[in-house]
Structure formats: structure tokens, C-alpha cells
Structure 1
Amino acid sequence: MAQPLEFVPPSVVGGFLRVVFALPGPVKRLIAGAPVVRDGQRLALDAQVLLRLLRLEGESLGAATPAEARRGLARGSAMLSKVPARPVRTREIAIPGDVSARLYTPAGLADGSPLLVFYHGGGWVVGDIATHDTVCRYLAVHAEVRVLSVDYRLAPEHPYPAGIEDALTAYEYAVENAESLGADPGAVAVGGDSAGGNLATVVGLFAERRPAFALLFYPATDMSVRRRSRELFGDGFYLTDEDMTWFSDHYCPEERRKEPRVSPLLADDLSGFPPTYLVTAGFDPLRDEGEAFAERLAEAGVPVALRRQEDLIHGFANMWSLGGRFQEAVSEAAGALRTGLALHRGGGTREPGSRG
């Protein structure tokens, strides 16, 4: 059945969203309904309003086919297409090995800046450079970095390990060609959200040269087991249990899901992983596996800052343009990236250890 907003142009829906989010708090509370409290956490009003509006839109991450799911995510991204006020120049990059990428350079950023190699989320099945354009622009501007956004191959057309192969190829290219990209070859970081966070994590473990820093938004780190957060938040909070099963089944056969390149939490040794800022969302099925990975990093002696944005939902990085709690959380992550890279360039990191 068609939903009320399904056939409205995304630019119109986006304008409507911004009007709603500019309303006074009491009015937004009327739209959202009674506060939602679960696992000792209270859902942010901004997140609750958005979830209510997404139900009107009929948006779901999964769909009957990958093509339908990709169209749905593209439509959702078009609704949230605001960009930072500071101009950002973009350039398409063709990486040997048939991997495409886009380089983001904020206006006025000097040559020799740090570089973030970014992998978009989308369950290894949906998403692309365009769906995460605003996230990359925001990080570039607010972390004072160049960002290389990678268009890795997607399942089911290209199942595991194709995406990982592309992720490693793009990172190695970035390190080897940093100067031609205008960046410091000694300050190349990796980052990503959700499935992209998984790819960034795998690169951090298996790349020949350790990244300078890892910025991980609610990463998928263990496909082998179900954790408590998946039971608590697997329905009604944007990313669902059904979505996760749909993505996993398209990406990787069950018999390979314990391999560290699928489930990096299961790697034997994490001591060589780069310094990390890992942020989870309180109302996210992926919360517990992300936090378990941060705990293992700490046990391995890796400098790691774990931050739970306990009142937010999966995907908040893509929602920064709505302001409020979404933008606050992404601003904090951008600040952590900027600080972490500054410490690295100041000589505050360890020598690489062994690989996982």
C-alpha cells in the first residue's frame, strides 16, 4: 500500500522535514507522542519525530530487491541534501583496479592536510558516494581534512570479499598517492558508518601500513552471533532485525561469517589497530557489537574513545542536516577525528603492532 509521502518529490519532503524540526519542542512532542524509554535510555525527541515521519514516508532499508532498496536509500538521502556553508571542492578519482572514489577538499584547506578514506554504509548492498555526500562534506569541513569517499562494489552482484578488496585497494592508493591528492602520506585515516565502519575496521586490521586513525560510526563487527541490542532495538528504530538478516544473507554465506574479514571482533590480535574514536547509538541493533569491539581494543592496549550517543538511532550521521542532536553527535565525531589526527602528527601514537 502506498504511503502518504511516497510520491511527493524528495526535495519537497526535505523542506517539510526542516520545517517540522524548526518547530518548538512542545509542538514536536505532540507530533512524536509519548517519550520512548528502553534499556534505561530515553529516545531523543528529534529521533522520535523523525521515526514518526519516516513511517509516513514508508521508508525501509531493506526491500523486495536490492534495486528497490537502493532507490529507497537514494530518495531518503535526497531529502537530507543540505551541505555545510563552507564550500567544498570535489574531484572524481579513478583508482587502478576499477574502483571509483570522490575527493572532497574544503575551501582554503592547505596542501599537506590529513586525509580520511571513507567507506559508506548500507549493509554492503545499498548506498554509494551520492548517498553519503553530505556526511563527507561535513567531516571534511569540520575536521579540516580531505576526504576520499570510496565507491566499493556491492552485494549480491559482488558478495564478500569484493567490497573488502576494493576497500583495501582504495586505502593503499590513498597512502601511495597522498601527495598528489594534496594530503600528508603520514596522516591517512580510515572511517565509515555501519557496513562502511566494518570495512574501515577490516582495513585497520589488515592493511600493510596501519592507518593514522579510525573513525567508526556504529560499525558492524560480528556477523556470527545475535547480541542483546538486536533483540531490544530490532523493530521500530530505523534499522530492523529483518533488515540486518536481509543484508547479511546478500553479503556473506553463513559458513564464512566467523572470518575476521567479515567479523573483525573475532580477530585473534587487535594490538596493531590504529587509535580510534568509535561511536554507537543507544537505540541501535548494532550497539552492543560496536561496544564489544571498543572493549577489545582497549584490552589490546589500543588508544580508543568509545562514545555511546544513547538517545539516538542507527544512521544518525546521515541526519546531521536536521540539526539538533543529530548534528551535535556528528560534530563531536568530527572534532574527535581532528584531534586524533593532530595528536598523531604531533608524535603521540605508538608504533604499529602485529595484525589481527
Structure 2
Amino acid sequence: MISFRNPKLDPSLFAKDLLFDGVPVRVYQPKAPFAGRRKGMLLFHGGAGMAGSIDFYQDVSNKIAKDADIVLVSVGYGLAPEHPYPSQYKQCLTATVHFLKNAEVYGVDPSQVVICGDSAGGNFCTVVAQKLTERPDLPKLRAQLLVYAGVQAMDFNLPSYVQNTGMPFLSQENTVIFGLWFFGQDLSLKDDLLKGSHVPDDFRMKYGKLASADNIPEKFKGQGYRPVPHGPYKPEVYKQLPELLQVTFSSLFAEDHVIEQLPETFIVSCEYDVLRDDSLLYKKRLEDCGVKVSWFHSEQGFHGVINLSDMGLFTFPAGVEILDRIVDFVRGL
């Protein structure tokens, strides 16, 4: 990935590049002594599964590891197209399982491990947390932290997609384009996905309420939102991209018995982000299933803003505030 900065390791931290069962990671550990074992975090970076890196997220990792006084593992999963789906979430899962099994080696309490991801990394985070409900042999996650995560590919016309369609970094159209690139599909499918023609009628009937704009609080619909009717189902479109609606990509549609087992969750949404409503929908889904949820909504935030939180004159306060809230949540666990 082309970088416009060269973040350096914070002097208060040690860092070491390792492999967790073949997955590249960088382990950040505070130099200061600590009585007992620290909390641990695995960080899954954003970038649509096609960009981003451990190096690019070093300033984010520095901030969280230092200020929360934790051991942080930044996961360098392989990027598409060289590493096709579903290798991204599987590598994140592999690294997480390894860390849970070996937490004490890094001075971490295995009952105090959290996972965190932003954007596509947040998507992988939701899938990893759901997959770990199938592993009673492992310590349970203490929490998951989801920063403007994408959790559904049914409806690209929710209020936030329509209201923020022209925003930089991630527009309504680019969300679909990046998804097609991620899955190695032709861009000719874009218009059908935007219309929702990839969704089978029986799937929409069963799960449509979970992704409905009716679940979005009215105060988020005050920018001239009007419901957009979905297009007719086209089986030929669905057959090219069935993965879009599977729970390993659209984690919103996991069954209740899975959602009910998820750990305490911290959700960050941003006002000027097409994925804002994905966060709101997942928040409601978790709460309806009895999961404890903390939520921070950044009124001035936009997609990718945490990567602009250490830019000198070009630093965006919203990115700093989000990282501070993440730190506060982790310290409070």
C-alpha cells in the first residue's frame, strides 16, 4: 500500500515481528513493569481486504498499546487478490486462536483478550467472534471492538449509504466496487448489487427485517432520506456472488443462538460514513439478543478517520477521540 507517512515505534514499547501458526503478526509490549498479567488485544486492520498493513497501522497500534497499557498483536493477514476470500478472516481466526492458547507467554491473562477491527477488519472481527462460539475448548473473548465495520451486503441503500454517497474514501458506489474487486468479480454486476437484485426472495423474507431501515433511529434519517425500492431478484447475479450473504461476510445474519454467545461489544459509528447504519443495525441485533453493548457515535467522523489521528497539522480530532474512546473502553474492562 502506498503510504503518506512513516510511523515509528513508540519508545515506550517493544515490538517484535512473529508468525502465529504461519500468520504474520507484530506484537507490541509496554516496556514498563506490570504486576500480574496484562490485557491483550488482536487488531485486524481495515483496507477492504485489499490494502492496509501492520506498518500502515503502527501509529494506531502505538496509541492503543501505550495508552491502554496492553499487549497488542497487529495481524498482517494476506490481501486479495493474491490471497482470495475467505483467507482474510481465516488468518485472523488462526492468529486469535494461537494467541488465546499462548497468551501467558506474552504476559497476558487469557481471560482478558479482546479483538478489534476497523472497516473490513471490523467485518473480520465479527466473523472471528462468531466462529469462536464454536470453540468451548478455548478461553472466551473478553470483548470485541468494532470500528465502522461492514456487517451486511443485502441493502446498499440504507439511509447512511444514500446520505453519504459522495463522501471521500468510501462512497456508496465504491463500497460495491471494492466488494466486487475483493471477490474477484466483474464490475458489470455493480448496478444489480446496488439495486439488491442479488438477494433471493426467500432470503429477503427471512432476514430482511434485520437489515431494514426501520431499525435505524429516526434521528439518523433527517437528511432527506427516502426509501429506495429494491430491484427484482436475478438468480444469475446471486450465483456469481453467493458469498456476499453468507455469515462469513454478512455477519448480521448469524442465527440468534450464535449472537447470544458473543462477548461484550464496543461499537463505533461515524455520522459521515456509508457504513454508519451497518453499525446501528449490528448494535440493535446484539442488544436484542442480550449482548452488552457500548456505543460511541462520532458526530464529525467519516470512514477511515482513525488513520488520520496522528498527522500533525492535518490531524482530525474525530480520529483522536475515537482512539481515546477505544482506550477508555479497554482500560475499563
Q: Secondary structure at the match of 2:100?
A: helix
Q: What is aligned with 1:36?
A: none
TM-aligned CA distance change 1:243 to 1:177, over 3 Å: same
2-side partners of 1:240 and 1:90: how far apart?
35
Q: Assess if the C-alpha contact under 8 Å between 1:215 and 1:337 holds in 2.
A: no
Q: What is aligned with 2:23?
A: 99
2-side partners of 1:316 and 1:82: how far apart?
19
The residue type paired with residue 66 of structure 2 is V
Q: What is aligned with 1:63?
A: none
Q: What is aligned with 1:228?
A: 159
The residue type paired with residue 90 of structure 1 is A
1:66-117 deviations in Å (ceiling 9; x for gaps)? xxxx32xxx23x16x3765x62110111112x21000011221526101001
TM-aligned CA distance change 1:284 to 1:161, over 3 Å: same
Q: What is aligned with 2:205?
A: none
Q: How many residues of Structure 1 are paired with residues of Structure 2 in the alignment?
A: 264
- Does residue 251 of structure 2 align to residue 320 of structure 1? no
Structure 1 residue 213 displacement after superposition: 0.7
Corresponding residue to 2:176 among 228, 245, 260: 245
1:10-41 deviations in Å (ceiling 9; x for gaps)? xxxxxxxxxxxxxxxxxxxxxxxxxxxxxxxx
Q: Assess if the C-alpha contact under 8 Å between 1:191 and 1:197 holds in 2.
A: yes
1:222-272 deviations in Å (ceiling 9; x for gaps)? 122212211211213332223312321122362211111101111112101
What TM-score, normalized to structure 1? 0.71
Q: What is aligned with 1:45?
A: none
Q: Which runs of 5+ in 1 are unaligned?
A: 1-69, 341-356
1-side partners of 2:262 and 2:306: how far apart?
23
Q: Secondary structure at the match of 1:301?
A: coil
Corresponding residue to 1:331 among 296, 320, 324: 324
What TM-score, normalized to structure 2? 0.75
Q: Which runs of 5+ in 2 are unaligned?
A: 184-239
Across the aligned residues of Structure 1 and Structure 2, the Cα RMSD in angstroms comes to 1.7
Q: Secondary structure at the match of 1:92?
A: strand
Corresponding residue to 2:108 among 183, 186, 189: 183
2-side partners of 1:109 and 1:289: how far apart?
40
2-side partners of 1:332 and 1:256: how far apart?
33
Q: What is aligned with 1:255?
A: 242
Q: Assess if the C-alpha contact under 8 Å between 1:92 and 1:100 holds in 2.
A: yes
Corresponding residue to 2:98 among 170, 173, 177: 173
After the TM superposition, which of the residue ranges 262-271 and 323-332 deviates more from structure 2?
323-332
